[in-house]
């Protein structure tokens, strides 16, 4: 099966497996796991923050960040299509008791104008606006990159309003790879950032939450409260350390995504906005065919290619380390066969 559903389906490398077997471990809740400590120190240096915290998942990382930045009843401003509001089970309401203020277009070129419109000053009728959440790359935007200049402008405006800024940077290394810059070019413009080890970097488990020392002290307690104290977690952290060496190969995924996008765009009835294929995600509009998204996905799966629906007429394909050029060519052939003959 050629699995293009997500970069979360990647298998750990042999180096990761070997590192997990031989990992030196201790009790991380007591701060005694040397491999976790090494991962957190290494990740902090790479991402450009004072400290990091090893998290079981990106969703927990985002939710711990929300808890650490806010108080109950506060308002958080974020894009209406962001992962936090779309795919995290309503956790901000359940766990933090905060109000999300979704606005459209926050993750693009007009971010500052949109933030100005969305921000509500202190008023007895309004919740306290406390936090702005960004997402880079933007999953539901098709893996698009918010440039560092755009992040800088909205970050500075947020601070003028007294807002902290949290970055859902699950795929932030895809963003820096696409921009051909150091990841710190992006992360300098947020107060906290979560990034995933288990997507394009290929680790089997884990994400990192980064920020100031004071922020991480608070986040560590919330991680424990949510059940994220993982004891001898060095077995997992060892794979995470190896994952940090996988950044340089992300350009291969981007090249494969563009090849896939170009091939699918040549199929009569499939529409792809090629200018939005900036990293490893390809969104395909099937509304000009005789099928909806679910039907195309089901037919492709029967022929050995997995993708996911992203709406009634949208299909998402994601490239990663476990698919190569031959897989991409086969996926294009399968889609062409289905669209043109069924």
Do residues 270 and 299 share a domain? Answer: yes
Alpha carbon 48 to chain centroid, angstroms: 18
Longest dimension (CA), the chain: 62
Cβ contact 27:329 at 8 Å: no
The whole-number pLDDT of residue 236 equals 98
SS3 143: coil
Dist CA 45 CA 42 (whole Å): 5
**Sites in the chain below the pLDDT cut of 50:** none
User: Does one domain contain both 117 and 215?
Assistant: yes
Model confidence pLDDT, tens digit, residues 161-204: 999 999 999 999 999 999 999 999 999 999 999 999 999 999 99
Q: Say how many Å lie between the first and final Cα of the chain, rounded.
A: 21
Q: What is the pLDDT of residue 61?
A: 98
The CATH number covering residue 256 comes to: 3.90.1150.10
**Residue 144 domain-assigned (yes or no):** yes
Provide the pLDDT for residue 73.
97
What confidence score (pLDDT) does residue 109 get?
Answer: 86
Which residues, in sequence order, are bridge partners of residue 177? Answer: none
- pLDDT tens sequence across 63-108: 999 999 999 999 999 999 999 999 999 999 999 999 999 999 999 8
Do 259 and 243 have their domain in common? Answer: no
Decide the pairing of beta strands 281-285 and 75-79: unpaired
Q: What is the pLDDT of residue 229?
A: 96
Q: Which of 184, 216, 247 is the last residue of a domain?
A: 247
Distance of alpha carbon 94 from alpha carbon 103, whole angstroms: 21
How far from 279 is each of 193, 206, 241, 252, 306, CA to CA, in Å?
19, 21, 23, 10, 19
Strands 308-309 and 314-318: antiparallel
Q: What is the pLDDT of residue 277?
A: 98
Residue among 18, 37, 42 nearest 27 (CA): 37
Same domain, 257 and 223: no
Instruction: Kindly state whether residues 53 and 100 are assigned to the same domain.
Output: yes
Residue 299 resides in a domain: yes
| Residue of 52, 46, 280 lying closest to 182 (CA atoms) | 46
- Asked whether residue 1 is domain-assigned, the answer is no
For 285, the domain range is 249-341
125 and 16 share one domain: yes
Examine the domain organization and report whether 128 and 206 are in the same domain: yes
Q: End of a domain among 247, 266, 298?
A: 247
β-pair partners for 318 = 281
Rounded Cα distance, 180 and 85, in Å: 29
């Amino acid at each position: 099966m050629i699995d293009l559903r997500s970069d979360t389906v990647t298998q750990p490398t042999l180096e990761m497996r070997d590192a997990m077997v031989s990992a030196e471990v201790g009790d991380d809740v007591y701060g005694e796991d040397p491999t976790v400590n090494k991962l957190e120190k290494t990740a902090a240096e790479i991402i450009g923050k004072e400290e990091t915290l090893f998290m079981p998942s990106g969703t927990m990382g985002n939710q711990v960040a929300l808890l650490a930045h806010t108080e109950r009843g506060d308002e958080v401003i974020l894009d209406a299509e962001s992962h936090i509001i779309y795919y995290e089970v309503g956790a901000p309401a359940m766990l933090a008791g905060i109000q999300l203020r979704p606005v459209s277009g926050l993750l693009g070129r007009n971010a500052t104008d949109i933030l100005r419109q969305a921000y509500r000053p202190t008023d007895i009728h309004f919740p306290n606006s406390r936090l702005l959440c960004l997402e880079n790359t933007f999953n539901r935007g098709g893996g698009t990159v918010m440039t560092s200049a755009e992040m800088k402008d909205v970050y500075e405006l947020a601070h003028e309003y007294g807002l902290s800024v949290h970055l859902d940077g699950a795929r932030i290394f895809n963003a820096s790879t696409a921009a051909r810059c150091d990841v710190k070019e992006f992360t300098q413009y947020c107060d906290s950032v979560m990034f995933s080890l288990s997507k394009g970097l290929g680790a089997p488990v884990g994400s990192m939450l980064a920020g100031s020392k004071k922020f991480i002290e608070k986040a560590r307690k919330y991680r424990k409260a949510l059940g994220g104290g993982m004891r001898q977690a060095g077995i997992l952290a060892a794979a995470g350390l190896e994952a940090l060496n996988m950044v340089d190969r992300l350009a291969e995924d981007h090249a494969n995504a563009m090849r896939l996008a170009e091939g699918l765009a040549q199929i009569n009835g499939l529409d792809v906005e090629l200018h939005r294929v900036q990293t490893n995600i390809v969104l395909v509009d099937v509304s000009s065919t005789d099928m909806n998204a679910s039907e195309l996905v089901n037919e492709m799966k029967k022929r050995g290619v997995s993708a996911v629906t992203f709406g009634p007429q949208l299909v998402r394909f994601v490239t990663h380390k476990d698919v190569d050029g031959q897989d991409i060519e086969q996926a294009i052939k399968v889609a062409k066969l289905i669209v043109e003959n069924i």
